[in-house]
A and B are shown apart, each in its own frame.
Chain A
Amino acid sequence: MLRFLFFRLLRAAVTIVMVVSFAFVVLRLSGDPAQIIMGADAPPEAVDAFRAAWGLDQPLWRQYFHYFGAILSGDLGRSMRDGRDAILLVVERIPATLALTLPALAIKLGLGIPAGVYAALHRNSWADRLVMLLAVAGFTVPSFVLGLLLVLLFAVQLGWLPSGGQESWRHGILPMLTLGIGGAAVLARFTRSAMLEVLGQPYIRTASAKGVPWRAVVWGHALPNAAIPTVTIVGFMVGSLIAGAVVVESVFSWPGVGRLLVVAVANRDLAVVQCVLLLVAATMVTANLVVDLLYGLLDPRLRNQPRAAGAH
């Protein structure tokens, strides 16, 4: 178990380093921050001075080692725009993002899983067809389109809800729904197929053959098995709690981490972009790690050490 954990942590660390390195190189090759931040008509001396001040005149490999040295000593750099610590800029946006993504996650789980299970249990009924139709729709419509549709309906036509901003909780409803509905659709499809797969297994027939009432077969035998593949996708959703709202925050001008990222990329505000990416990668990797541990908990076949059989 410890060995397993060690290697998983090592893999997680390698993943994060790779993400950050990739971003480092791409960002620096795809545009000159000095020019962008100082403006196109800035005097060349000023631009050079800016480059020197931020170390942008150094060779790329030196910048890279300097950057990683700083990270290891806990310094994630400062924003090139206002000189504040990048990490502070990012952290102060997290609550706003979570205020959207956590309720959206609740919608995904609370709507998607029951809908998927119900559809599987009533396969080919009209309810199953309806769930699948909505799921395919929610799955194929991109989130900015869904967001705009919701704005048109609830903000423009009906005037029930505001279309953007963050002044009250009511401003959060449409972005939350936009995020939640799309994810619920994905989860419903996934849960349905996982559940159908399990319901066709011989052990479900065995449970019925030994007299277990159908409800108990579903709850006690089918769901615990269907949960195993479903955990993967739920883990992915948890992993994208920070990063999953970039598009929706932009559509609804919601001042979260996603909007910060978009603005920082446009400005080539390197430290801020990398700080966001680091955070996103860390969330993803952590969620993955938790999923792997959950697998072991849910599926005895994946536990390394057989307890009862005890061959050794």
Chain B
Amino acid sequence: MARLVEIRNLAVTFDGQPALRGVDLDIAPGEAVGLVGESGCGKSVTWLAALGLLPAKARVTGSVRLGGAELLGAPAATLDRVRGGRVAMIFQDPASSLNPVHRIGRQIAEALALHRGITGATARAEAKRLLDQVGIPDAARRLDAYPHELSGGQNQRVMIAIALAGRPELLVADEPTTALDVTIQAQILELLAALRRELGMALVLISHDLGVVAESCERVCVMYAGRIVEEAPVARLFAAPTHPYTQGLLGALPPLHGPRRPLSAIPGGVPEPWAMPPGCAFAPRCPHAAEACAVTLPAVVVLPGGHRAACLRALPGFGSDERAAA
């Protein structure tokens, strides 16, 4: 299948401190991909960098192609057409992500004018339709509301409506439910899944929560310390996790329908950007670390079934030899 987004060796540093250290990621049209990992591992930065949304002090290298066209270093006008047009992004805190001094309707209409050239009464009608579509009751009246007059869940629906306004091929949802009540979380996730089926757009769902991702996505990428360390179709990742970090995450996962909790059950912490080990970044916490792990940067090993892992033990021969020796 032709790829929609191809990210290659994407790296980001802030003031000389690495935040992303070479991310490779493909998104196919219409696909739902989950991106999970602990706080600070670079999930948000990956997509902010891809869309040119990082502050000027960030140094970004590598390549991000959308439908074959390079986005990194593209002219501002090109990026403005992509952002909100072909790729939309919604964020964690819906209340502060909407402009407090503009009415909801105006904020949706702005995207309609930019990407579909619709203005005036037509835009208002379309904005109302979008609010209906994202499940906001009494949409016609809500158009004239300000964000502070809506609840967090409703504001996130408004954010989704704005995102849909440009008819994007890809929606990146960056922890869209973290700031919301548990019952509202489930509703928003259901809405995203339903919209994706209905509109055929691709979805990237960023989350701390492997459980959330498992329910809404087809494929999962696990990030650790600025890299993707494992990537596989959901069923396969759960059945045969290969990277010890993923195994740790799965071990920390609550029973399938129990309450969700953060991924905190792996002892130790993420290495600081200025003290990144030369070898595997997970080595200090890894229960299976071998001597080579501390010095050799693990390359990505391609396993059968669309499964990849960046662990020395996944190399054919490596693990079995040591295990045999042990």
Q: How far is the CA of A214 from the CA of B76 in the complex (A)?
A: 9
Q: Which residues of B contact A308 (CB under 8 A)?
A: 103, 141-146, 149
Q: Is A221 an interface residue (CB 8 A)?
A: yes
Give the secondary structure class of A's interface: helix
Q: How far is the CA of A209 from the CA of B103 in the complex (A)?
A: 18
Q: Are B53 and A209 within 8 A (Cβ)?
A: yes
Interface bits B279-291 vs A (CB < 8 Å: 1, else 0): 0000000000000
Interface bits A204-236 vs B (CB < 8 Å: 1, else 0): 011111111110000011001100100000000
Q: Is B8 an interface residue (CB 8 A)?
A: no
Q: Are B146 and A301 within 8 A (Cβ)?
A: yes
Q: Which residues of B contact A197 (CB under 8 A)?
A: none
Q: Is A71 an interface residue (CB 8 A)?
A: no
Q: Which residues of A contact B149 (CB under 8 A)?
A: 306, 308-309
Within 8 A of A (CB), among B151-177: 159, 162-163, 165-166
Residues of A within 8 Å of B, CB-based: how many?
A: 27
Interface bits B62-76 vs A (CB < 8 Å: 1, else 0): 000000000000001
Q: Is A159 an interface residue (CB 8 A)?
A: no
Q: Which residues of A contact B93 (CB under 8 A)?
A: 202
Q: Which residues of A contact B200 (CB under 8 A)?
A: none
Q: Is A32 an interface residue (CB 8 A)?
A: no
Q: Is B188 an interface residue (CB 8 A)?
A: no
Q: How far is the CA of A310 from the CA of B93 in the complex (A)?
A: 24
Q: Which of A211, A221, A310 contacts B84 (CB 8 A)?
A: A211
Which A-chain residue is minimally distant from B103 (CB atoms)?
Answer: A308
Interface bits B114-151 vs A (CB < 8 Å: 1, else 0): 11000000000000000000000000011111101110
Q: Which residues of A contact B81 (CB under 8 A)?
A: 211
Q: Which of A211, A299, A306 contacts B83 (CB 8 A)?
A: A211
A-B contact sample (9 more), CB < 8 A, given A209-B89, A307-B144, A308-B144: A205-B97, A206-B91, A207-B99, A208-B53, A210-B111, A306-B145, A306-B146, A308-B141, A309-B145
Chain B residues packing against A (C-beta within 8 Å): 48, 51, 53, 76-77, 80-85, 88-89, 91, 93, 96-103, 110-111, 114-115, 141-146, 148-150, 159, 162-163, 165-166
